[in-house]
Amino acid sequence: MVLGIDIGKYSIKMVQLSKDGETIKLENLGILNTFDDLNKFNLDNLSKSQLSACIQDLAAKMDIKPKKMKNIVTSLSGKSIDIRQITTLDMPDEELLVSLELEAKKHVPLDGTEAIIDYYHIGNNPSELDKIDIILVTTTKNKINDHSNIVKASGFKPGVFDADPIALSNLYQYNKQLPNDGADVILNIGHTSTTLIVWGGNSSFFTRDIEIGGHEINKKIIQELNCDYLDSDNKKNTEGINAFDMENNNNDDENSGIAIEKRTIFNDFAEEIRKTLRFYMKSNNQSFFNTFYLSGGCANIPGIKDFIMSNLNVKIENFDIFENVKTDINIENPEQYSIALGLALRGLEL
């Protein structure tokens, strides 16, 4: 039995899996908002103790005893980590580790503590015979300690520490196959940011955090419509990309029938995705994009899938994350469990 815990700023998600032979079964899952009153949601006031208490409360709600849970996997995210694919000489593990530690220091802002690295061996580099491709994950000891203390204070014994993009990549590889030609794209739209991942069998791994998610959309709705945070969250989840139409509707009588499409944060979001993909293509000019997979708690904002598809002219579908997991549980908004499920799959060492 393994428990994946996604420690988000908007909500905590847990997924509990078991494995019997080749069958993976969903035993339990749950979600709990970090703020009981959404009108009090404030990223700057979200304390570590609040996160620990929320993890504890969700575990109690799911009837999970933290001290009895021996196999848990959690993850770091955002600016606390750096993830990139690098090409390096094929060498013994001890020499490789020293080389990667030197490489890691170039990419992560040091905070007075040592860099902590993990790496994933992709395979031989297709164009240079004596080199290998590696996904290098870097953080610092301070970041690890902060994360570990949150987990400890919730009553759990810290287990494996992963990274959100790696959890999503593991989830993708469990359900899909890397395309031999071109690359697939994962868009995990969370509340505080969106994780974008590009990867193909012959196209390099790339990930970037886009600082637009449900929270930024809520803030724009509040700004435009002068409502509170709870109302903005409801409008986002029920009206989606049309949440900003109220101002235009109020002026219908004054219009002469000529409508000008209003630019919203959804346009900014699509443009950030476009910029990221252009950047990727500069170093992967022989690649192209196959399918975009939507995941994350905000993947089901009404209209967002069609909006991205039409603005970027891409094939896009919701990521069926539980496709290969046996379950009798009726799951509401399953995409919100993407990271937690990816973490749990890591714990099963697939």
Domain annotation covers residue 27: yes
Domain annotation covers residue 229: no
Whether the per-residue pLDDT at 259 is higher than 70: the answer is no
Whether the per-residue pLDDT at 262 is higher than 90: the answer is no
For position 170, what pLDDT does the model report?
94
Domain annotation covers residue 225: no
Residues 6+ apart with CB under 8 A from 258: none
Mean pLDDT of the chain: 91
Domain annotation covers residue 234: no
Burial zone of 164 (CB within 10 Å; 0-12 exposed, 13-18 middle, 19+ buried): buried
- Domain total in the chain: 1
From its phi and psi, is residue 234 left (phi > 0), alpha (psi between -120 and 50) or beta? alpha
Domain annotation covers residue 79: yes
User: If you average pLDDT over residues 318-333, what whole number do you get?
Assistant: 95
User: If you average pLDDT over residues 293-306, what whole number do you get?
Assistant: 97
Residues 6+ apart with CB under 8 A from 46: 9, 34
Asked if 52 contacts 154 with a C-beta cutoff of 8 angstroms, the reply is yes
DSSP state of 269: H
Domain annotation covers residue 314: yes
Q: 119: domain CATH number?
A: 3.30.420.40
| pLDDT tens column, 190-202 | 999 999 999 998 8
Asked if 289 contacts 296 with a C-beta cutoff of 8 angstroms, the reply is no
Domain annotation covers residue 305: yes
Whether the per-residue pLDDT at 72 is higher than 50: the answer is yes
Whether the per-residue pLDDT at 249 is higher than 50: the answer is no
Burial zone of 196 (CB within 10 Å; 0-12 exposed, 13-18 middle, 19+ buried): buried
Where would I find the beta strands (DSSP E) of 127-279?
131-140, 160-163, 183-189, 194-200, 203-210
Single out the residue of 157, 69, 68, 84 nearest to residue 117, CA to CA. Answer: 84
For position 246, what pLDDT does the model report?
59
For position 258, what pLDDT does the model report?
47
User: If you average pLDDT over residues 52-76, what whole number do you get?
Assistant: 95
- Distance, CA of 341 to CA of 25 (rounded, Å): 11
Whether the per-residue pLDDT at 159 is higher than 70: the answer is yes
pLDDT category of residue 261 using cuts at 50, 70 and 90: low
What φ, ψ does residue 29 adopt, rounded to 5°? -155, 160
Report the alpha-carbon angle 54-350-327, nearest 5.
60
Domain annotation covers residue 67: yes
- Distance, CA of 73 to CA of 160 (rounded, Å): 5
- Distance, CA of 43 to CA of 95 (rounded, Å): 41
| pLDDT greater at residue 219 or residue 112 | 219
Asked if 169 contacts 205 with a C-beta cutoff of 8 angstroms, the reply is yes
pLDDT category of residue 206 using cuts at 50, 70 and 90: very high
| pLDDT tens column, 1-49 | 999 999 999 999 999 999 999 999 999 999 999 999 999 998 888 999 9
Domain that holds residue 119: 2-215+266-347
For position 255, what pLDDT does the model report?
46
Whether the per-residue pLDDT at 250 is higher than 60: the answer is no
